[in-house]
Chain A
Amino acid sequence: MEHIRLPKVEKVRLLDRVSPRRSRVGTLYLTATHTIFVENEAAVRSETWVLHSLVCSVEKQAATASGCSLLVRCKNFQVLHFVVPRERECHDVHLSLQRLSQPERCEELYCFSYKPNVDEEERRREWDFLDLKADYSRMGLPNSLWKLSPVNQHYKVSDTYPADLFVPQSATPPVIVGSSKFRSRGRFPTLSYYSKENHAAICRSSQPLSGFSARCLEDEQMLEAILRSNPRSDFMYVVDTRPKLNAIANRAAGKGYENEDNYSNIKFQFIGIENIHVMRNSQQKMLEACELRSPSMSDFLEGLESSGWLKHIKAVLDAAIFIAKRRGSVYWFTVQTVGIALLRCNHLVGDPKEMSPVIDQFLECAWQIMEQFPCAFEFNARFLITIHSHVYSCQYGNFIGNNQRERIALGLRERTHSLWSYLWKNKADYMNPLYRPDHRQTEGLLRPSTAPYCFKSWRGLYNRFDQGMHPRQSAEDYLSAIQEETQQLEDQLASHQRKIAQLEQEGGVTWGAVAFDKSPTAWALGSDMELANTPQDYAGGFVTSSPCQHKAPEGSLLLLTHDGNISNGSDQESGIADVSCLSPLSEDSARDPDSDEAAYSAA
C-alpha cells in the first residue's frame, strides 16, 4: 500500500488505440493489485481492470494542453493509453505503477495475496490435480529400461532440474554425476517422453562443456546407456536446437556440441532455432506490426515478414516434426532454449533481457497445429490464451520461480493456488466442441503441414484487445451452446421417461397433466443476435468504432473471476469468462452517435 502515491484520479481519458476520437472519460483507481478505470457516463457500468503484475512497461509522455499521456503496456499485449489532466497526478500514477508492477520481493507477488473463496483443504487438493508421477506411469514408467533416479533429490546435481528424474536402468550415480559436470548448469541427459509402443524415448539436456577438444567418459557412457535403453535401435539422433554457427561459436567459451568421434552410433542434427535474444527482438517487431494504426495490407505483411516471427515459429514446428517422424529410434535433445528459458518471465525486477518469448512460441505452435486440425484438440484457443495470461499474471503459483527447487523454497504449494485446477473447474469454457478423439485423421500422430502459407498471424493472442478485428460470431461457441442445450433436453427426456414409467406403474395415466416445462436456458446466442454491431472506419481516416465494447471488461478478461476481496464491481467481472467478448453481434450505436460523422469527415 505504501507504494500507492495517489489512489484515485478523476477526469482521466482512456483513448481507443485505433480511433482516438472514441476515448472514454472516467476515474482511475490504483489498488494494491489492480489499476481500475471506471467510465463515468456509460449506460452500462464499464470497467477496465488491469493486474499490476501484467504490466510490462509504463511510459509517461510529455505533457500537452489536453493533459499528460500515460502508456501502459501489458504482457498479454494489451496497451492502454490514458490521458491524465494534470502532470503532477500523471507523475504520481507513473511512479506508483512502476513500483507496483515490479515487485522487489517474492512476497509481493500477486499469488501470495490472491485469496479466492476456497477453503484450505480444497486449495491443497488443487495442487494434487496434476501429478507428474501419474503422467509417467501413463507412459508405462518405471519399467525394465528406465528407472526413477534419486540422484537429484536435494538439487545437488542440477539445481534447475526437478528432484524426480528418469534415467536408463544401466546409468549409475557416478556416471550421472560425471555427465552432469560436463553439461551446462549440470543438466545431464534425462528422459522427457517415452513411447510404450516402440520404446523410443526423447531425452533432453543442456550443451556439453566440450570446448574444442574436451571429452568426458561418463557423458559418453551416459549416452551409450540411453542408446541401449531401446533394444530395437542401434543408433540415435542427437538434435541440437541451435543454428550450427551458434554452437560452434560457443566452443570458444568452453561449451559447444558433442564430437561425433567420441560418441558411438549417434547421428548429429542441428535444427537452427535461434536463441532467446533473437526471438525477443523478433517478437517485438511482430508486435509493432500488429499495433500499427490502420495499416495497409502491405505495411502489415512487410512488418510481419521483417520481424521473422513466423519463420521462427515454423522452425520450432519443423524441429518438432523432425523428432516426431523419427520415433523409431532413440534420440535426445539439447534443449538449450526450451529447458532453461521456459520460465524466464521476469516476475521480479530484473534485467529485461532475460525475458523470453519461448512459452509464447510453444503456445503459438500448439495454436498453429490446432488451426490445421480443428478436431484433434480437446481444448480451444481460449485455453491457450488463458494459460498465456497466467504465465505472466503471477496469480497462480504454477509459473512462479525458475525451477522446482525455487518453487519449493517459496512454499508455492502451501501458499498459492494452482491454475490447472482453476482451468479444470471452468473447463466448459475451454472445451473444443469439435473434438473427436476417434477421428481417423487425428488419431495418434498429427502430421501438420509446414508449408509457409499454412502459418497465420495469431490475431486472437496478439490483437486480443482489438475487439473490432475478431470474427463477430464464433462457430465453436455456437456449437458448445447447442451441445449444452442438447444435453439438457436429453436429461429432461430421461427424467420424463422415468416419470412416465412411474406413472404407468401406478396405473391411470393422464397424459394431459404432464406439463412440458421449457428448458431454463435461453439461447445464449439467440438473444445476442438481436444486437447489431457498428461499422469500422471504411473511409480511411478514423475508425469509427469497434463492436462489443458495451459490456466486455477488456482489461482483466478471465483473470479476475474469483476476485472476492474487491467488492467494487466484482459481480460484473464474475461473468467474464462467458462468451460476451466473443459473442456474435453487439450494438453500440447508442453510445456512439458520432461514429458515422467521424468516418465521413475524413472522406
Chain B
Amino acid sequence: MEFAELIKTPRVDGVILHRPFMPTVEGTLCLTGHHLILSSRQDNTEELWLLHSNIDCIEKRFLGSQGRIIVKCKDLRVIQLDIPGMEECLNIASSIEALSTLDILSLMYPFFYRPMFEVLEDGWNSFLPQNAFKDLETMTDEWRLSEVNKDFSVCASYPPLVAVPKGVDDDTLRKVATFRHGGRFPVLSYYHKKNGMVMMRAGQPLAGTNGRRCKEDEKLINATLRPGKRGYIIDTRAANVAQQAKARGGGFESEANYPQWRRISKAIERSNILQESLIKLVEALNDQSHNMDRWLSKLEASNWLTHVKEILTTACLAAQCIDREGASVLVHGTEGTDSTLQVTSLAQIILDPACRTIRGFQGLVEREWLQAGHPFHQRCAQSAFSNSKPRQEAPVFLLFLDCVWQIVRQFPCSFEFSDSFLVLVFEHAYASQFGTFLGNGTAERVKLSLPQKTVSLWSWVNRPQELQRLTNPLYEANSLVIWPSVAPQSLLLWEGKQQGGGGEVTTHERGPKMRARSVGPTH
C-alpha cells in the first residue's frame, strides 16, 4: 500500500497554527506518510512535527470559506489549524483521519525512522532477562532461568526466559501454565535483598466453579516460602469479582489448598472503567465554565484519583508484606497483565532504590511491562479524546506513571529522574518514532523483528545530552524503602500530564520547557 493514496492534498500554504500559551504560527502545512508538518519556512522558528499515530481525533469547523481543524492528540495536547479554502480543509481532514487510523503495525513510523543521532548503546540489548538474572545470582542461588517458553508455546505473553524457583522443573511449569489464565504461571518479579523475600506474579488460577486444584501450582509457590513462614496472595480484584470469575472458569486460590497463604483482596478497576475515567478527567480539565463546584464534582465523578489511590495503596501493601512482614507475595488479578503489573512495578519503586534511577526505571519498564506482556498496542490505541467505541484501550500504564509521579512528589530528592522523564515515557507509549512500545508482547516484537528493524527509545535516552535533561538536580541516592502517603490530601493531580496538551497550564514557570520539547521531532 502506498501512503500517497491516502493523501489527497499534500500541501497547503497560509495555514495558521494555534497552540495554548504559545504564539500563533503561520506557515505551510504538509502531510507525509507519518507526519503532519507545519513550517513557517523561516530560520530559527519552531516547526510542528506531529505523528499521525499521535492523533486521537479531529474536529472540523467552517467559518465562511475558512476551515478549521482541531487536532486532539493521544498525549493530551490540543492544537488548532486554520486552513484557507473549504476543499483543502476537507481533504486534509480526511487524509489525517485515514492516516491516523491505520492499524497495520508494519506500516508504523518506527519501521521507517532512521536515527540522526549516534547510538552509543543499543537499547534493545540493555535490559535482557539474562542480564537481570545475573544480578539476581549475586544475591541468591534459589532461582533459575527457565527456557520453557523459548518458542512462546507455554505462555504467549511471557518472554522466552523467566525466573522460577530452582527446585521446580520445566514439566511442572508446563502443568502449572495450564492452570493459570493465559498460561501465566507464577514467575519471579522482584527479590528483596534485605531479607530474601520475593514478589511473584501470575494470571488467575483456573479453579472454576468446581474448585479445580493443581498440585504443581501449589508446589511451585510453596517452594518460595521459608520453613514455617506464610506468604500473602494479593488479588487485585474485589472479593465479589474474584468470586464471579469462577463462573467463567477463573477464580482464586482456596484456603484449603493453599493453607500457607493468606489472600488479600484489593479492588483495582478493570480496563474499560479506567478508560472511561480518563475520558471524564480530560473532559473536566477542558471544561470552559471555570466553575469550581462543577470542576470538583467532575473530578470526583471521574474517579481518576480514586484509581490512583487504590493502585498506590495496593502496591504499598505488597511492599509492606515483603519488607515489614518478611513474607513473600504473589500478585495477580484476572489476566495478570494490567493491575498486577501496576502493583508489582510500583512496589519495586517503593522497595528498591535502583528503580528510582533513570536506568533502573527503564529496566523496570522493560521487565515489568514490556517483557511481562502488557498489551501496549491494544491499551494505547486510543486515548482520552477518541470518539470511536473503545475496544481494549485503557490508561493502565498512564496510571502507573501517575502513581510514580505521586511518589516523586512526596520524595522529591530520592529520584534520579525529573517529571519530564515520566512525561516522555508517557508520550512515547502512545506514539513514537521508536519501536520500544510497539506490539503487545515479546512474541509479537520478535515476529516483527523490532530489535533489528527499529530503534529503541532507550538508545535515544541513554545519551549524555538527553540524560542531562531528564535528570533531577536534587537527586541524592536514598537506599531506604520509601513509604508514600495515600491520604486523599496527599494525592494531587499530575500537572505535567495535562500540560502535554489539555487546555491550559498550571505551573507557568515550568510549562514552556515541557511543551517546547514535546513539539517537533526528536532528531
Using a CB–CB cutoff of 8 Å, the interface residues on chain A facing chain B are 290, 294-302, 304-305, 308, 310-311, 314, 371-375, 439, 441-442, 447, 449-457, 459, 463, 466, 468-475, 478-479, 525-526, 529, 531-536, 538-540, 547, 584-585, 595-596, 599-600, 603
Contacts and interface: CB of A to CB of B under 8 A. Distances in A.
B212 interface: no
A305 B489 contact: no
B296 A301 contact: yes
Nearest to B284: A453
A468 B485 contact: yes
A459 B489 contact: yes
A595 B323 CA distance: 13
Interface string B392-421: 000000000000000001111110000000
Contacts of A531: 480
Contacts of B300: 297-298, 301-302, 305
A297 B509 contact: no
Given A374-B509, A536-B316, A298 B411 contact: no
Interface in B291-308: 291-297, 299-300, 303, 305-306, 308
B64 interface: no
Contact of B488 (A301, A451, A479): A301
A449 B481 contact: no
Contacts of A449: 504-506, 508
Nearest to A452: B295
A599 B320 contact: yes
Contacts of A314: 292
Nearest to A596: B324
B452 interface: no
B488 A297 contact: yes
B488 A310 contact: no
User: By CB atoms of chain B within 10 A, which of A294, A304, A470, A535 has the most?
Assistant: A535
Given A585-B478, A600-B325, A441 B488 contact: no
Nearest to A600: B325
B62 interface: no
Contacts of B316: 535-536, 538
Given A372-B508, A471-B411, A603-B262, 15 more contacts: A297-B303, A297-B488, A300-B488, A300-B489, A301-B296, A308-B292, A314-B292, A374-B509, A452-B291, A453-B295, A463-B487, A469-B487, A471-B409, A472-B411, A472-B483
Contacts of A296: 306, 309, 488
Interface of B: 262, 264, 284-285, 287, 290-297, 299-300, 303, 305-306, 308-309, 313-314, 316-317, 319-320, 324-325, 409-414, 474, 476, 478, 480-493, 498, 503-509
17 contacts: A296-B309, A297-B308, A299-B488, A305-B296, A311-B293, A449-B506, A456-B492, A468-B487, A469-B489, A471-B412, A475-B474, A478-B412, A529-B478, A533-B483, A535-B316, A535-B483, A584-B414
User: By CB atoms of chain A within 10 A, which of B313, B324, B478, B485 has the most?
Assistant: B485
User: By CB atoms of chain A within 10 A, which of B411, B488, B492 has the most?
Assistant: B488
A231 B64 CA distance: 45
A324 to B, nearest CB: 16
Contacts of A463: 487, 489
A371 B508 CA distance: 10
A181 to B, nearest CB: 39
Nearest to A305: B296
Nearest to B264: A603
B489 A457 contact: yes
Contacts of B264: 539, 603
Contacts of B509: 373-375, 439, 441-442
B303 A308 contact: no
Contacts of B291: 452
A450 B508 CA distance: 12
B474 A472 contact: no
A538 B487 contact: no
A372 B297 contact: no
Nearest to B314: A538
B325 A525 contact: no
A473 B482 CA distance: 11
Contacts of A302: 300
A592 B320 CA distance: 14
B296 A452 contact: yes
Contacts of A595: 324
A259 to B, nearest CB: 31
A310 B296 contact: yes
Contacts of A310: 292, 296
A516 to B, nearest CB: 23
Contacts of A525: 413, 476
Given A297-B305, A585-B478, A535 B508 contact: no
A439 B508 CA distance: 12
Contacts of B410: 471-473
B253 to A, nearest CB: 16
Contacts of B480: 529, 531-532, 585
A374 B412 CA distance: 15
Contacts of B317: 538-539, 599, 603
A468 B488 CA distance: 12
Contacts of A439: 509
The 6 closest A-B pairs by CB, nearest first: A452-B295, A300-B488, A305-B296, A301-B300, A311-B292, A538-B316
Given A300-B488, A314-B292, A525-B476, A374 B507 contact: yes
A49 B483 CA distance: 28
Contacts of B412: 471, 473-475, 478
A297 B413 contact: no
B299 A301 contact: yes
B483 A441 contact: no
A65 to B, nearest CB: 31
A305 B314 CA distance: 27
A356 B300 CA distance: 29
User: By CB atoms of chain A within 10 A, which of B262, B287, B320, B411 has the most?
Assistant: B320
A402 to B, nearest CB: 31
Contacts of A373: 508-509
B411 A473 contact: yes
B324 A475 contact: no
A295 B300 CA distance: 13
A441 B414 CA distance: 29
A305 B290 contact: no
Given A441-B508, A584-B411, A585-B480, A298 B306 contact: yes
Contact of B483 (A300, A459, A536): A536
A547 B474 contact: no
Contacts of B295: 452-453
A547 to B, nearest CB: 7
User: By CB atoms of chain A within 10 A, which of B295, B314, B411, B489 has the most?
Assistant: B489
Contacts of B294: 452
Given A296-B488, A466-B487, A453 B306 contact: no
Nearest to A303: B488
User: By CB atoms of chain B within 10 A, which of A297, A299, A451, A596 has the most?
Assistant: A297
Contacts of A308: 292-293
B296 A536 contact: no
B489 A479 contact: no
B506 A454 contact: yes
Nearest to A308: B293
Contact of B290 (A452, A470, A478, A603): A452
Given A311-B293, A453-B506, A475 B413 contact: yes
A329 B91 CA distance: 50
A463 B509 CA distance: 27
A531 B484 CA distance: 15
A540 B486 CA distance: 11
A290 B508 contact: no
User: By CB atoms of chain B within 10 A, which of A439, A534, A536 has the most?
Assistant: A536
A596 to B, nearest CB: 4
Contacts of B493: 453
B22 to A, nearest CB: 14
A452 B284 CA distance: 10
